[in-house]
Every structure is written in C-alpha cells, then in structure tokens.
Chain A
Amino acid sequence: MTTGTSEQHIVSYGKLTAIWLALLALTALTVWVARHNVGIGHVWGSLAIAVIKGGLVIAFFMHMKYEGRLLRWLLFFALSVLAIFIGLTFFDVLYR
C-alpha cells in the first residue's frame, strides 16, 4: 500500500493570502445569506458555502491537494459519512 508522495510542498504567501481573503469573502456571504429571507435556500446556501470554505482549508492550508491518492480517498470517505449524517438529519428538518 502506498501513501503517495511524501516530499514537502511549500505554498507561496501570495496563494495563502488569496485563500484567506476568499475565506473572509465567503464568511461575509454567509452573513448576507443569513440576513435575507430566502426560505430553505438559506440552509442550502449556508451549507454550500461551508463546504467550499472547508474544501479550501483542507486543500491548501492542510496540504491535501499535494497528498497521495490514499489519503484523499480516506478524507473523501470521512466527508461522505458526514454528508450522509447531515443528509439524514434533513429528513427531519425539511419535513417537520
């Protein structure tokens, strides 16, 4: 079994700053969505933004973009489980 590449990958300050700004912008968007009455779209919008923000953090700040396939699959598996947990909860939240 291989864990893929193990060499260090250095992300430039410029790229890290750009990701940070993107996260701030997405946070502002979350606040905007929460303050506008868009019905259940508010939940989906917030979830979508959270997924994008989490993806950015995992890919760049946690270096998953530069890791091997096994670790990526393991992460995908864990996130899928989380998605299933949240999805099943919505059978309650959406139909209550």
Chain B
Amino acid sequence: MNSAEKVHPPGNGGFWNDTGKTGITAWIFSTDHKRIGLLYFYSVLTFFLIAVVLGVLLRIELMAPGRTIMGPQTYNAVFTVHGVLMVFLFIIPGFQGSFGNLVMPIQIGARDVAFPRLNLFSWWLYMAGAAVIITSLFTGGGPPDTGWTFYVPFSERTGTNVSLAVFGVFIVGFSSIITGLNFVTTIHRLRAEGMTWGKLPLFVWSLYATAWVQILATPILGITLALIIAERFLGTGLFDPARGGDPLMYQHLFWIYSHPAVYIMILPGMGVISEIIPAFARKPIFGYKMIAFSSIAIAAAGSLVWGHHMFTSGMSDTAILVFSFLTFVVAIPSAIKVFNWVSTLYRGSISLEAPMLFALAFILLFSIGGLTGLILGAAATDIHVHDTQFVVGHFHYVIFGGAVFAFFGAMHYWLPKFYGRRYAEKPAVVAWVLMFVGFNITYFTMMVLGMKGMPRRYYDYLPEFAPLNLVSTIGSWILVSGLILMLVNLFRGLFKGEPIDRNPWGAATLEWTIPTPPPTENFEEEPVVTHGPYDFKKAGIT
C-alpha cells in the first residue's frame, strides 16, 4: 500500500466538488470523463436491473408447464424487451461508457478524452435512444414481440411497435460509434510521455480493439434497422422473395453487426480480467504482448464469423463450411487469453478478494461458454441444438458469466477509487458465492434442456421438461438474491464504508498513483511513464 492520506467522502473531494454547477446540471452538462462515466454507469445499471426483473418473470412463467403468470403474447414481448434492454442498453454501452470513460484516460496519463463534448453528446444520444425504446413499449401496437434480433418477415408484419423500437436502437448505435471514435483518437493522440503501445494497460488495449469494432460494424446495424422501417412504411420488398427480395439478406446484415457486437460486449470484460489478475496474484501478467495482440485478433476474426448464426436458415453449404471454419479460428485468440491468465496465477501470491473472485468466475464461466460455442460453431452439431434452450444457456454463459461477471469485478475493483470508500469484504464474498451457484443452476440446466430438445422462445413446453425448468427457476432466485446482496453491500460501502488510500489493491497502473477520489484534471503534473503496467518492482509495490 502507498501513503495513507486523508480521504474525502463522496461528494466532497477530488472531482466530486470541483465544478461551478450544482445539482443535476453538474452531471448532465459535465464534460469531465469521470462524471460522464458515472452517468453511463448509473444509466446502464438501471436498464440492467429492469431487464433482470423481466428475466426473472420469464423464469417464473417457465416454472411449470402451461400458463403460469403470462400468456404467449406477453411472454414474446417480455423476452424481446429483456433482450433489447440487456443487449443494446446495458452490455454494449456498459463497459465503454462507464469504466472506459472512468478509467481509460487516467490509465494512459491523459486529463480527459480527445473530444469531451462529443463524449457528453454520446451519453445524451444514448439516453435519447433509450427514451425512444421505452416509449415504444407503451405506444402504437405495444411492445415489440420479435425477439431482440428483429428477424424478417415477422418484424415487417407484426402489429406491435417494432418501428419505434428499432429507431431507438438506431439512435443508440450512433452513440456507440461516437464513443468508439473518441476512444480510438484518445488512445492514439493523448498518451502521456513514455506511454508507448507496449506499456498500455491491457484494459486500454481491449477498449481500443472494441472501439474499432464499434466504428466499423455499428453503421451496418443502423442501415439494417433503417431498412426494416423502410419495409414497414414503404413496402420496398428488399427482404420479400415475391418482389425479388431475399429474407436471408436481412440475417446477413443483422449478424454482420451483431456477432461482432458480442465482442464489443466481452472484449472490455477480458481487459478488466487482465487488470485484476496481476493485481491480486501480485505478479506481472504472463504473455503481455500475446494478450494485447489477441484482443485485436478477436476483434478482427470475430467480425468474419456471423454466418454461424444461420446454419439452419437455408444458407449455401459453401458458406456454412467457410463460416464454420472461421468460427473455430476465433477460439485461438480466446484460448490465448485464458491460458495466459491461468499462467499468471501459477505461483502467484493470490489474494482471494471480491474482484479476484469475479475474475476467477469469469475464467471458468467464459471457458464453458466458449467451449459450448464450438458446439454451435460446428455445423453438424449446431443443427441439433439450434434455437433450443442450449443456445440461451450458452449465450448467458458467455455474456452473463463472462462480460457481466467482469462488470461486477470492475465495480468492486474501480468504484472505490472514485468514491474514496469501499464495501465490506465478507458480504461481497457471500454475494459472489450466491451468484456463482445460482448462475450455474439457472443456465447449465438450460443447456441440458436444450440438449433434450426444448426449443427457446416458447412460453409452454412438454411435461417431460418440467422438473429441470423448476430447477432453473429456483436457480434464478438464488442468483437474484446474490445480486441484491452485492448491490446493497457495494453501494452502502461506497457511501458509508471504510475510507481507502490511493492504492488499496497494490496495483501498478497509473490510476492508482493519483489521489482518491481523483482530482478533476486527474494529474497535478503530466506523468512520465517509466515502467510497464504490471511491473510491480519498478512501481515500488512489494
């Protein structure tokens, strides 16, 4: 630990009270990357919690065969809104908007991002898009019932309010592109003296790779969603075979964005894990260059594999072969990361505190998610489990067990730095245990149900699937109880917990060298970087 210095309470110290404005205007008109980071954090967390409630309702409906608490139309709407909120309003903007904004400029030794006003504009766009999406639920024909993928021809014909919902997602997409542009420019142009590419923290590398995917892939989503609106209002026939259109073309366009979007969700999470593991194993990360390179490789290769979502759609056999092969290629850089994290742990001085527990859970759950992904990436096996509960289980292992557990790890790792206070350790560990156990009961059971043939996106099922569905629903209750305990403990700690000094974890990246909470301009003097981000010896950390 470094110096024990006086710590200000939240709202009274560092960037918290360093503004001419007061009240909410000090936040919603601020161009400080830390304030924008917190704006994003609380926004995405709100949508996450709403989507969690919807997810629990889905599980309650599936607790027993037949109608339990909702009918088929409501069920279709609830799983659609659950997916739209989780994907477009929580996990895609989540890491970049919140922890990317909070931490990245400090980690590279900058005072702010390259375009602070554009940064604030991206949050406003995000909120505007979110408002449009929420409005779509209560206007027109009611909440969309297409699933978050908005597949044609159903999305063209349904009487629900698909047009407004996709317009909202369209706006949120612009926010994502702007954040990507801002981050690429910031990382290229605003690095401190001595902060070479070989000394960039791995979280920054992961944000950099993600930002390129946001810039290059998101416009395709925008165009695709605009085409749905054109189809609904103008009847252009682009996806209608009767008029020379091609329904599969929609699926291509949608997944050209939406598969790389999975890497927008998971790559920053991998960056978080690459920060937490060396700090809590007190050991330089194993294979720094390969982890950095694998972020770029995942972003590049992951952009070429979208066709594996379409193996049963009627796509050509040649395309199935090509996309199946490319899918296996992505496994290589993902495995590089996992092996390097495990190698970092080997003979490390491991401290099992909350952030590390989330990181370890990430490695296991993401590995299960990745390996079950190969079952879906291989055309022969995919045909058997396509559109079953297996896919739901696999996806949640990657995105919840992977990205969201990393998000929770980041909350425990970095939020105390910005609040100057920390949570209680014991309840954090209990919450982690509950979530880990509840998660596996909920989603592993889904994969078993999928292998047995239970399709996804139906509110009812055959009686033979009843026992495992009950188990999965009970698992979701354990998971949510852990989540509630985690949030109560975390936020109680941030506002009333024990004060911390500038480097509570003994990490070696730049954000831990500045006061807690960080001052508005981050650094009193421009830092000169002389050692790598995980070089504990040269950083003077024992």
Residue ranges of A at the interface with B (Cβ–Cβ < 8 Å): 1, 78, 81, 84-85, 88-89, 91-96
* 306-334 of chain B: CB within 8 A of chain A: 307, 310, 314-319, 322-323
When distances are taken between beta carbons in the complex, the residues of chain B under 8 Å from A96 are: 314-316
Contact of B318 among A1, A84, A85, A95 (CB under 8 A): A95
Is B503 positioned at the interface, with any CB of A under 8 Å from its CB?
Answer: no
Q: Are A88 and B315 in contact (CB under 8 A)?
A: no
Q: Are A85 and B220 in contact (CB under 8 A)?
A: yes
Is B248 positioned at the interface, with any CB of A under 8 Å from its CB?
Answer: yes
Total contacting residues, chain B, CB less than 8 A: 22
Residue ranges of B at the interface with A (Cβ–Cβ < 8 Å): 188-189, 215-216, 220, 246, 248-249, 252, 256, 303-304, 307, 310, 314-319, 322-323
Q: Are B248 and A92 in contact (CB under 8 A)?
A: yes
When distances are taken between beta carbons in the complex, the residues of chain B under 8 Å from A93 are: 246, 316
Q: Are A91 and B220 in contact (CB under 8 A)?
A: no
Measured between alpha carbons, how far is A92 from B531 in the docked complex, in Å? Answer: 50
Q: Are B317 and A95 in contact (CB under 8 A)?
A: yes
Measured between alpha carbons, how far is A78 from B322 in the docked complex, in Å? Answer: 22
When distances are taken between beta carbons in the complex, the residues of chain A under 8 Å from B319 are: 88, 91-92, 95
Q: Are A89 and B317 in contact (CB under 8 A)?
A: no
Measured between alpha carbons, how far is A58 from B210 in the docked complex, in Å? Answer: 26
Measured between alpha carbons, how far is A85 from B304 in the docked complex, in Å? Answer: 7
Measured between alpha carbons, how far is A3 from B247 in the docked complex, in Å? Answer: 42
Across the A-B interface, give the 7 residue pairs with the lowest CB-CB distance, nearest first: A92-B319, A95-B316, A95-B318, A91-B319, A96-B316, A92-B315, A91-B322
When distances are taken between beta carbons in the complex, the residues of chain A under 8 Å from B307 are: 88, 91-92
Measured between alpha carbons, how far is A48 from B248 in the docked complex, in Å? Answer: 23
Contact of A89 among B188, B189, B252, B303 (CB under 8 A): B252
Min CB distance, A43 to chain B, in Å? Answer: 12
Min CB distance, B324 to chain A, in Å? Answer: 11
When distances are taken between beta carbons in the complex, the residues of chain A under 8 Å from B256 are: 85, 89
Q: Are B304 and A78 in contact (CB under 8 A)?
A: no
Q: Are B188 and A81 in contact (CB under 8 A)?
A: no
Q: Are B216 and A92 in contact (CB under 8 A)?
A: no
Q: Are B316 and A92 in contact (CB under 8 A)?
A: yes
Measured between alpha carbons, how far is A84 from B303 in the docked complex, in Å? Answer: 10
Min CB distance, B49 to chain A, in Å? Answer: 35
Contact of A81 among B246, B303, B316, B322 (CB under 8 A): B303
Apart from A78-B216, A92-B316, what are 20 other A-B pairs with CB-CB below 8 Å?
A1-B188, A78-B215, A85-B220, A85-B303, A88-B323, A89-B252, A89-B256, A91-B323, A92-B252, A92-B307, A92-B310, A92-B318, A92-B319, A93-B316, A94-B316, A94-B318, A95-B316, A95-B318, A95-B319, A96-B316
